[in-house]
Homo-oligomer: A and B are copies of this chain.
Amino acid sequence: MEQLLYGTAYYDEYMPVERLNKDIEMMKAAGINVVRIAESTWSTHEPQNGVFDFRSVDRVLDAMHQEGINVIVGTPTYAVPTWMVKEHPDVLAVTSQGKGKYGARQIMDITNPTYLFYCERIIRKLISRVNGHPAVIGFQTDNETKHYHTAGPNVQLLFIKYIREKFETLDHVNRAFGLDYWSNRINSWEDFPSVVGTINGSLGAEFATFQRKLVTEFLAWQTAIVNEYKQPHQFVTQNFDFEWRGHSYGVQPDVNHFEASKPFDITGVDIYHPSQDDLTGIEISFGGDMARSTKGSNYYVIETQAQAFPHWTPFPGQLRLQAFSHLASGADLVMYWHWHSIHNACETYWKGLLSHDFETNPVYEEATTIGKDFKRLSPHLIHLTKTNKVAMLVSNEALTALEWFPFTQSGNKNYNDIVRLFYDELYQMNIGVDFVSPEENDLAKYRLLIVPALYSASDEVLERLNAYVKDGGHIVYTFKSGFTDENVKVRPSRQPGIIHQACGIYYNMFVEPKHVSLKGEPFLAGVENNGVETWMELLIPTTAEVLASYDHPHWGKYAAVTQNSYGKGTATYIGCILSPAVVRKLLAQCIKKAGLWGNDQKIAFPLIIKSGRNQYGRTVRYFFNYSAEKASWTYYYGDGTELIAGKTVQNNDKVELEPWGFIIVEEN
């Protein structure tokens, strides 16, 4: 699309009163130019098995088109009709908790052929009906697809076949997973037990990989069907989401975003984040970086919050700040979930742009200013391209393995806590970040690679990382990296396994820190930030320099953080969970070493800088003030134009930002 898209999800089917024309009028007033429809309403479109009723789709398409609003049509497959479950109860996923119950969405066995049959039929009926409609610019297949923990007998059967294809013989399986332990050895394929009760983390993690593959395959299958109908100017996208902690938090455990996004023309995501006093922009940036990294390209924010929950209703100014933050990370579309607040059922208090009364309100009014600015500035802001020199390597496999083997028995921190510990500090220092998968072959384009807790990885991956350092790359590893292989088998060598070559250290003991801190003040981050928590490895340097040691009567002789020159690069290894303040200082040191410390680092959170090149080849820089206080600083970049106000800005100008305010400068 050659314009920034701004819109909402729209559910004509949920309306308690006739609203279509009035809604479109209010949308137009707000500059809304796209809506997403149909992804949740299968029971309306197919009220009985084989009986179709697309009247609400037709009328919305026609009405939107008449007023020039684009439409994305979703396949309505992530919530199944009552008749299907009554006829075929086995379309519901069987999980470790037992049979599913009808009611919620996302309760199906996505491998069930009955479900797939009905999916295919409704997809073909719907997409073939709307693909020629001039309002339709693209499609979304399913929604927030996951595997819903499907693990019934049929899925176990598929898993056994998957295992046989991958490992060929049971001897390989028994050895790879260490199944002799506790008499779990499998000596005949017929004996393969359901993994629902397994205590073997290798087997369990393999099953999780298999379940993620089911998602990848399901989405590829849907997309292939839609592609049969898609017109050249139309796109297919998905709405991926993230680990959920009451809001989008980190890497999605149940989907491999890198793999699953491959069949799509463009990656879509939903991003929900804390707001009001707790608005930081971190999740906007994190979700955007992940979405952009999947295809190395711009992305769509298919869903984000308008009013949403009572604890999220934005303060004045925040809705604008959020919308432009999405653009600054590379989004070409921002859609709210959703237009109107729903009058029944479990998302009644997840409010849309409009409240339940359909009248104007302060949030809607703020949206109207966004729509106007999006339209006015679209040529300057669309298709922002970003070239980051820092990447963070994230791994679904490491995440799952650490679910099976948490840092402590209480298990109150998981993989994403570590990812976020490092990501958040990079964000706050205004370091632009890409995400890469362990399969990434083109690491050379990055100067600095952050590798948090890469607990499970093959020899091949670790050797590639060693080679990256040798060839001049800089890498920061945390504890647990390299510890197990791709089958979550602990390496029977000195730890941290293969990467000890680049890191110049080894260890074979680790403890849970109690009254332990860093000795002295190695990173000048303040003694109060010296604490070590949750996990510590007792590192012994071979060739590495010790950056920090532990302060403890018994563990004081071991290193906590080391740095090693290896070939043309350096590898930094962090053996314990450090405070955010120490992580910040340590990362700053590594960034400087990689030659990446620049003007953007002269200010820091709550002042956030994001930049890229627009389609005119000019650098566009966003400056955001994520705070309730006014802010001012010196503009150190090339002369340009501040796009919102249309004023020129020159190097060394004093610049001011309102609370929750921002400016956008396009360099000349």
Contact = CB atoms under 8 A, between A and B. Distances in A.
Given A183-B105, A344-B181, A409-B246, A511 B311 contact: yes
A104 interface: yes
Contact of A309 (B309, B489, B512): B512
- Of the candidates A80, A181, A358, the one having the most CB atoms from chain B within 10 angstroms of its own CB is A181
B490 A185 contact: no
Nearest to A195: B103
A535 interface: yes
Given A43-B187, A349-B405, A197 B103 contact: yes
B197 A514 contact: no
Contacts of A313: 509-511
A40 B80 CA distance: 46
A187 B104 contact: no
B102 A194 contact: yes
Given A85-B193, A191-B82, A488-B344, A512 B184 contact: no
A343 interface: yes
A556 B100 CA distance: 47
Contact of A342 (B16, B104, B181, B348): B181
A357 B512 contact: no
A310 interface: yes
Contacts of A554: 315-316
A345 B185 contact: no
Contact of A183 (B80, B177, B492, B628): B80
Nearest to A190: B86
Given A357-B495, A361-B508, A493-B357, A187 B345 contact: no
Interface string A371-407: 0000000000000000000000000000000000100
Nearest to A44: B180
A422 interface: no
Contact of A494 (B180, B188, B348, B357): B357
Contacts of A347: 181
B310 A511 contact: yes
A249 to B, nearest CB: 16
Contacts of A178: 14, 16, 342-345
B202 A104 contact: no
Contact of A348 (B40, B198, B201): B201
A198 B100 CA distance: 12
A43 to B, nearest CB: 4
A102 B201 contact: no
Question: In the assembly, how many copies of this chain are there?
Answer: 3
A80 to B, nearest CB: 6
A196 interface: yes
A615 interface: no
A346 interface: yes
Interface string A66-107: 000000000010011111011000000000000011111100
B508 A104 contact: no
A48 interface: yes
B183 A344 contact: no
A489 B197 contact: no
Contact of A191 (B86, B362, B408): B86
Interface in A7-21: 11, 13-14, 16-17
Contacts of A315: 553-554
Given A193-B102, A200-B346, A311-B514, A180 B508 contact: no
A400 to B, nearest CB: 15
A509 B307 contact: yes
A511 B76 CA distance: 32
A177 B182 CA distance: 41
A591 B94 CA distance: 58
A490 B361 contact: no
B196 A101 contact: yes
Contacts of A345: 177-178, 181-182, 184, 199-202
Interface in A168-212: 175, 177-188, 190-202
A115 interface: no
Contacts of A417: none
A183 B495 contact: no
Residue of A44, A103, A316 ringed by the most chain B CB atoms within 10 A? A103
A626 to B, nearest CB: 16
B514 A276 contact: yes
A86 to B, nearest CB: 5
A101 B197 contact: yes
Interface string A554-598: 100000000000000000000000000000000000000000000
A490 B81 contact: no
Contacts of A100: 197
A466 B344 CA distance: 25
B508 A187 contact: no
A58 interface: no
The interface centre, meaning the residue of A183, A313, A342 with most chain B CB atoms within 10 A of its CB, is A183
A42 interface: yes
A579 B629 CA distance: 31
Contact of A181 (B14, B102, B509): B14
Contacts of A202: 344-345
